[in-house]
Amino acid sequence: MSLPAVKVAHTPEEKFREYLSSRAKPQRFTEQQRDMVRYIFSQHKHFDADQLIDGMKAAGLDVSRATVYRTLTKLVDAGLLRKLDIGPRVCYDHDYGYPQHEHLQCSKCGKMIEFQSKVLEELLRTVCQEHQFHPSGHTLIVRGNCSECHRTRTSGSKRMLDLI
């Protein structure tokens, strides 16, 4: 984990159950949903649907693709996960028990470095005020290369492909 966890009153599982039962049309908490929540919050990682399915299968948990997609939608709605739009596939990030943060994304190895910034928060407050904009959330992603990948330029970069 790159950032310290935030103290929360409930486990993700509890928070999800509460969300499900407090809906206008109460929804059910199933075994598979429980497995997903537990697995997802057993480690702090960014993931997409496929990575989650692979990971759970490797952990001996059985899940169906359709249910994963359906449950991810609910987890976002419940405030447990946050969507990150960083390319063709949707990426998810913990949004409960973990502080608001931004990302440095290495375009070579895919590594995500997280950071927090009070200055940014202050800046966004000011800008939104100036434009009379009412923010609900934001995403900041910096693309580039991490220190290791920057050093080892010689491994399969885009430039190499151009030269073929």
- Compute how many residues bind its own copies; rule: CB under 8 A: 37
- The closest alpha carbon to 93, from 118, 66, 75, belongs to 75
Tokens of residue 112, six digits:
């995500």
Amino acid 9 reads A
CA distance 12 to 96: 7
Could you tell me the smallest distance in angstroms from the CB atom of residue 103 to DNA?
Answer: 17
Contact (Cβ atoms closer than 8 angstroms) between residue 12 and residue 41: yes
In the bound state with DNA, the residue whose beta carbon lies nearer, of 78 and 106, is: 78
Confirm if 139 and 104 have CB atoms less than 8 A apart: no
- In the complex with its own copies, the residue whose CB is nearer, 54 or 85, is 85
Q: Which does 145 bind (CB under 5 to 8 A by kind): its own copies, DNA, none?
A: its own copies
3-state secondary structure of 3: coil
Using CB under 8 A as the binding rule, whether residue 85 contacts its own copies is answered as: yes
Judged by beta carbon distances under 5 to 8 A according to partner kind, the member of its own copies, DNA, none in contact with residue 161 is: none
Query: Residue 31 interacts with DNA (CB under 7 A)?
Result: yes
- Residues interacting with its own copies, by CB under 8 A? 24, 85-87, 104, 106-107, 113, 115, 117, 119-120, 123-124, 127-128, 130-147, 150, 162-163
